[in-house]
Structure 1
Amino acid sequence: MAGTPDDSIAPWITATPTEWLENARAAGTLLDGVARRTPIELSRRALIGSPTALKCENMQCGGSFKIRGAYVRIARMPPDQRDRGVVAASAGNHAQGVALAAGLLGTRATVFMPRDASLPKVAATRGYGADVRLVGHSVDEALVAAQEYAAQTGAAFIHPFDHPDVIAGQATVGIEILEQYPDVRTIVVSAGGGGLAAGIAVVVRALRPDVRVVAVQAQQAAALAASVRAGHPIALSDASTMADGIAVRRPGSLTLPLVSRYVDEIRTVSEEAIAHAVLACLERAKLVVEPAGAAALAAVMDDSSAFPSPVVAVLSGGNVDPIVLLRILRHGLAAAGRYLTFHVTLPDRPGALAALLTALAAVEANVLDVVHERTQAALAVDEVEVALQVETRGQEHSQEVLETVARLGYAVS
């Protein structure tokens, strides 16, 4: 079944884990010398609080795991089909994977991306030689445009997750984890459409059924979780999250049954948790990881006791716009209690603000920003509200700052 054509998904829905493992091993042979065998880095206990290893697919060719599935899918096409070119739709990582794979295999790639796709991802996709076309404002709209283009031109549509060859390519991540870290008891992986989670889960079931596989979605884009609960595909009306790489509104007809059958648990994480994980990767692990790639780690950081250890968290991608990264870092610092914003009502007279700033200096809070507001109806004529943003050392220090200000008699909100 390794060369399954597009119209033969059904047999793979009922294929055994052993058949999937055979498919994935054949995919691994194709990827030898193409995709990197990415390292597993052992995190310091201070990062998470329990033994956790990081599978660094953010260091993969093209910046994410997507090259694996894209290359296998295109490499298994008949030559005459490859000659007609390939087309894909993506927010960025699958786009780069398809563009890179197409270039390596000597075929043309056309990639449809949302108009608000990350500029570095668009530039990188073009840099790999693809014809990039910006349409719509979501991956789903780009998918429709790509499928229409395929029907009009005869180019082969490369689905980002819902194809057996793509899933087999992604499944090689699971094989590598078991070989590199045989003591693993839980593998945690981010999930959008479910291709990576399904691939890892089915080969783990074949090789190590004692190992748990946990998929993680952003709370604001959890179509896969909702669909598994419902027992059928659920389409979200919106999937707005900073983790654009997993902002998929509807799971696939192949990935959904595989995830339902072989993934042990699906968790969701907040935007704050994702931002905190991105920050932790930079600050503690010295790794650049995009929000979608950090979702798995965010779940472990949220509740490490929920995962039998040792744990491997898959950092699935590292393609992040520096401007977006800056916003995420600010958000992550706030979520970690490193930025504290609050309002204080002061008498509108000389020296009042200086006294407040002196009090903040005494508790070693670094003032970043001060804004005066005198026109609110709730303020008395002789009052002023001051909005302050201060830098602190964490949650406990933030609480100390607020308690100190309140104890000195200031009205804090």
Structure 2
Amino acid sequence: MKIYLARQPIYTKSRSLYGYELLYRNSEQNFFPNVNADLATRELSYNVLSEFDFSALTGGHMGLINFTKEALSSDLPMLFHPSNLVIEILENVMLDDTLEERLRYLKSENYILALDDFIDDGAYDSIIPLVDIIKVEYGLLTDAKRREIGQKYKASKQLIAERIETEEDFKSALHDGYSLFQGYYFSRPTVLSKSTVNIASSSYAQLWREASKESPDFDVLADIIKADVALTYKLFRLINTPLFYRGNRIASIKQALILLGIKETKRWIMLLLLRDFSKQENDQITKQALTRAVFMEKLFDCMGQSSLAQTAYMVGLFSCLEVLMGEENALSALASLEVGPEISEALFKKEGILHQALNCIQCYEKQQWSTVEAFASAQHLDEQLIPSLYVQALSYADEIFAAQQAAPEDKTN
């Protein structure tokens, strides 16, 4: 599956880069599709946080994202670090006391607030003191109106002139007091895409039940996440972003959750669950990955190498990434996760005891008994151990995926 977004640069008076507006896309078509605005905000935020590298997207500059009223009222903005996010308040957001209090809170947490498509009709007067940036659709207002806004606010706010399409527009906006500029004159939005993996529907159901609790349990969440290759991948992607990365090599899923913290973990899970459920699922491939992971973990315990059991589990779980994402994408994905050289060595260099064990279960799946018997003999294992462990692992995976009874529409209850 591919995911998409677009970015459009914003420039200063001297034509140096200020940042990028990040825009929702769901295909290579470079326009906003006819989708619900709340869904677009959630999906874009999710992709920026869990799939793309926010710092790489913006090059360390500011990233501007549109937020609906629902998104502003949720914890969604708090998933981003305030140092490089500009929260754009959409022009159709209806203010009320609750939302204004929420905006005051975000301001107190050092988030930068911007008003989008501002026309200065009095509708947002009550929050003007909270706002740092005012965006004006420069090409859609009269000369008198955009000049009036520029003169009125240039001393107290940063003013972005949008829809700058010609050199004349740029010079006019400069003269009117605008300090930042965006539009086709500088650059059209550029669509970016990357491959990703789907989360199994059974994992959604279990995560929803646990995350809905007032105090989710780390151990329960770790067990659910470790059963799903896509969830594990997305968690490691998140924990390796600049917002959470602390230079630690992550040895287990529970360690990643502890570093993330229960508050951020719950926000991340809820964000996952708010995504659209219409995408194709990969339950069978994910089930195979889980079976391999459990088999590998049990095998290394039985081999007296418990210190490698967790790493073996990860090797088994990530062994299906190539099928889910393609070889090149899987290799680059694992390289970005900082999961340790043993995993990449086993999966791609095809070396070491971890690779030998993975090859054993892969051959068992294909009924290539001679290779399985050779591994068991080399490791001095009872010939019945491998079939027994495989049955245990398969039974465990069957039980996990039996939790698939919750339908997508039930997950908003």
TM-score relative to the length of structure 1: 0.26
TM-score relative to the length of structure 2: 0.26
